[in-house]
Amino acid sequence: MTRQKVVAVTACPTGIAHTFMAANKIIAWAKAHNIEVKVETQGSDGVKNRLTKQDIASATTIILATDVPIQDAERFENIPHLQTRTQELIKHTDRYLRQALAMEKNVTPVAHEDDLPRSAYQIFIGHIMAAISYMLPVVVMGGLMMATAKITGQFINIEHSPFSVLDKVGFMTIKFMYPVFAMYLAFSIAGKPALIPGLIGGMMSDEVYKRFFDIEGFMPSGFFGAIGIGFFVGYLVRWLNDSIHVRQQLTTIKTMLIVPLITGITLVMVMEYLINPIFGSLNQLMVVFFTSAGDTGRGFYSAMIAAGTAFDLGGPVNKAAGSVALGLNGISETFDLTARELSIVIPSIGVGFAAFLNGRFGLPDVFSQEEKTVGSTSLLLGVIGISEGAIPFILKNPRLIPVFMTGAVAGALVAIALGVKQTLPLPAIWGWPLATNVAGYLASVFIGALICALGVLYVSPKNAR
Give dist(CA 287, CA 453) in Å, integer: 34
**If you ran DSSP here, which 8-state letter would residue 436 be given?**
B
Distance (Å) of CA 401 to CA 110, 223, 408:
38, 25, 11
> What is the maximal distance between C-alpha atoms in the chain?
79
Neighbours of 423 (CB within 10 A): 17
Give dist(CA 383, CA 51) in Å, integer: 33
Give dist(CA 312, CA 390) in Å, integer: 10
Give the residue numbers annotated as catalytic, written as ranges: 12
Radius of gyration over alpha carbons of the chain, in Å? Answer: 24
**Taking the alpha carbons of 342, 344, 347, 353 in that order, is the dihedral positive or negative?**
negative
Contacts made by residues 115-123, CB under 8 angstroms, sequence distance 24+: none
**If you ran DSSP here, which 8-state letter would residue 38 be given?**
E
- State whether residue 10 is helix, strand or coil: strand
Which residues, including other chains, have CB under 8 Å from residue 358's CB and lie 6 or more apart?
Answer: 364, 365, 366, 367, 372, 375, 457
Supply φ then ψ for residue 379, to 5 degrees.
Answer: -60, -45
Give dist(CA 80, CA 83) in Å, integer: 10
- State whether residue 351 is helix, strand or coil: helix
427 close to 382: Cβ distance less than 8 angstroms: no
Alpha carbons within 13 angstroms on the beta-carbon side of residue 377 total 13
